[in-house]
Homo-oligomer: A and B are copies of this chain.
Amino acid sequence: MRTSPPKERADAARNRAVVLEAAAALFREHGVDAVSMDAIAAAAGVGKGTLFRRFGDKAGLAVALLDEQERTLQEAILFGPAPLGPGKPGDDPTPRERLHAFVAAYLDYLLAHLPLVHMSETASPGARYRIAAYRFWHRHVSLLLSDRDDPQADAHTLLAALAAEHVQAATGDLGETRVRRAALTLANALML
């Protein structure tokens, strides 16, 4: 919620909002993959340079669009009720319960925004592992797996099965239900 230090100029803030709205509308209308950055810039009445300076690249734009929902999920994990969050003193969920809840909630989020998340993860090579969100999920899962020999490595393993690319392909092959079950199976298998 910090707004003070860098101080954003008025026209900049206005443009950011206009761009995000235009992008959201175009994505809804034509599908994420069919919309070019040129088109977004044109629809927003803004130069292409502006667009790239503010969002870095196409993945950055996707991240910005997902930001709100992503933060909601992250806050539920950090401060929300059990089993997804830590809960209030007294109803402490087990790590297994929390991991299950995380996988289920993350898949809800992912499947609801698959094309956008996919774009945020694949627009540039290695994008997925650079964005802040990945580090957040990884940290959270690592903590829940802290009884294992190498929690960080196992957390990467779990998250590999939640990659947009993988979930998209597996869903096409097996359907959503089996993919969800498989992810929960994995979570189980990794809890000793």
Tell me the A residues contacting B by CB distance below 8 Å. 33, 118, 122, 125-126, 128-129, 149-150, 152-154, 156-157, 160-161, 163, 165-166, 168-170, 173-174, 178-179, 181-183, 185-186, 189-190
Contacts and interface: CB of A to CB of B under 8 A. Distances in A.
Nearest to A168: B126
Contacts of A168: 126
Contacts of A156: 166, 169-170, 173-174, 179, 182
Given A122-B122, A160-B163, A163-B160, A153 B169 contact: no
Contacts of A126: 165, 168-169
Given A150-B181, A174-B152, A182-B154, A125 B122 contact: yes
A153 B166 contact: no
A119 B174 CA distance: 26
Contacts of A150: 174, 178, 181-182, 185
Contact of A153 (B154, B165, B178): B178
